[in-house]
Amino acid sequence: MTCTGSSPGAAERLLQITAYLDGELDLTAAVELERHVEECAGCKRALEAQRALGEAIRANAGELRFRPSPEEARRLRRALGGGAAPPVWWLSPPSQQLRSLAALLLVAVGAWSVGRRWPGVPASSESSATSAAQAPAAAPGAPAVPITEEILASHLRALLAGHPEDVASSDRHTVKPWFAGRIDYSPPVVDLAAQGFPLRGGRLDYVAGRPVAVLVYQAGNHLASVYVWPADAAAVGAAAGGAASATGAAGAPAAASSRRGFQLLRWTQADMTWWAVSDVAPEHLAELVRKLRQALPASPAPPPPQSPPRP
Amino acid sequence: MRDEDRGRRRFEAEVLPHLDAAYNLARWLARDAGAAEDVVQTACLRALRFFDGFQGGSARAWLLAIVRNTFYSGLRQQRAQEPEAVFDEEVHSVESPGGDPEADLLRHADSTQLRQAIAALPAVFREVIVLREIEGLPYKEIAAVAGIPIGTVMSRLARARQHLQDDLIARGVGGRRP
pLDDT tens digits for B41-69?
Answer: 999 888 888 888 887 788 899 999 999 99
User: Are A14 and B162 a contacting pair at CB < 8 A?
Assistant: yes
Query: What's the distance, CA B177 to chain centroid?
Result: 29
Interface test with A, best of B11, B67, B94 (most A CBs within 10 A): B94
To the nearest whole Å, the CA of A256 is away from the closest chain B CA by 19
B/e letters for A214-233, b = 16+ CB within 10 Å, e = fewer, are: bbbbbbbbbbbbbbbbbbbe
In chain B, the residue whose alpha carbon lies closest to the alpha carbon of A20 is B154
Residue-wise pLDDT for B7-23, tens only, equals 777 887 888 888 889 99
Helix A94-104 and helix A106-115: axis angle, to 10°? 70
Distance CA B63, CA B54 (A): 10
Which chain B residues touch A101 with a CB distance below 8 Å?
A: none
Residue-wise pLDDT for A137-190, tens only, equals 333 334 456 788 888 888 887 777 677 888 888 888 888 888 887 888 889 999
> Could you list the pLDDT tens digit for every one of the 311 residues in chain A?
567 655 667 888 999 999 999 999 888 889 999 999 999 988 999 999 999 999 999 889 889 999 888 888 778 777 776 433 333 433 444 444 444 444 444 434 333 333 333 333 333 333 333 333 333 333 333 445 678 888 888 888 777 767 788 888 888 888 888 888 788 888 999 999 888 899 999 998 888 778 899 999 998 888 999 999 988 776 665 555 433 333 344 456 678 877 777 888 988 888 888 999 998 888 889 899 999 998 887 754 444 444 444 44
Q: Say whether residue B137 is in contact with chain A using an 8 A CB cutoff.
A: no
User: Are B40 and A76 a contacting pair at CB < 8 A?
Assistant: yes
**AA identity, residue B104:** D
Contact B32, B73 (CB under 8 A): no
To the nearest whole Å, the CA of B99 is away from the closest chain A CA by 12
Residue-wise pLDDT for B112-165, tens only, equals 999 999 999 999 999 999 999 999 899 999 999 999 999 999 999 999 999 999
B/e letters for A17-39, b = 16+ CB within 10 Å, e = fewer, are: bbbbbbebbeeeeeeebeebbee
Contact A103, A110 (CB under 8 A): no
The answer to whether ipTM exceeds 0.90 is no
Residue-wise pLDDT for B77-120, tens only, equals 665 444 444 444 444 444 444 445 788 889 889 999 999 999 99
Which chain B residues touch A86 with a CB distance below 8 Å?
A: 5, 8
- Please give the pLDDT value at position A183: 86
Q: Say whether residue B124 is in contact with chain A using an 8 A CB cutoff.
A: no
Distance CA A305, CA B26 (A): 47
Q: What is the separation, in whole angstroms, between the first and last Cα of chain A? A: 68
Distance CA B118, CA B76 (A): 22
To the nearest whole Å, the CA of A36 is away from the closest chain B CA by 14
Give the residue ranges of DSSP H helices in chain B. 2-14, 19-30, 33-49, 59-78, 102-106, 111-119, 123-129, 139-146, 150-170
pTM, two decimal places: 0.52
Sequence-ordered list of residues with C-beta below 8 angstroms from that of A127, at least 6 positions apart, any chain: A113
User: Are A104 and B44 a contacting pair at CB < 8 A?
Assistant: no
3-state SS string for B60-105: HHHHHHHHHHHHHHHHHHHCCCCCCCCCCCCCCCCCCCCCCCHHHH
Q: Say whether residue B19 is in contact with chain A using an 8 A CB cutoff.
A: yes
In chain B, the residue whose alpha carbon lies closest to the alpha carbon of A153 is B17
User: Are A42 and B95 a contacting pair at CB < 8 A?
Assistant: yes
SS3 label, residue A165: coil
Residues forming a β-bridge with A266: A255, A275
Closest-CA residue to B8 (of B68, B53, B49, B67): B49
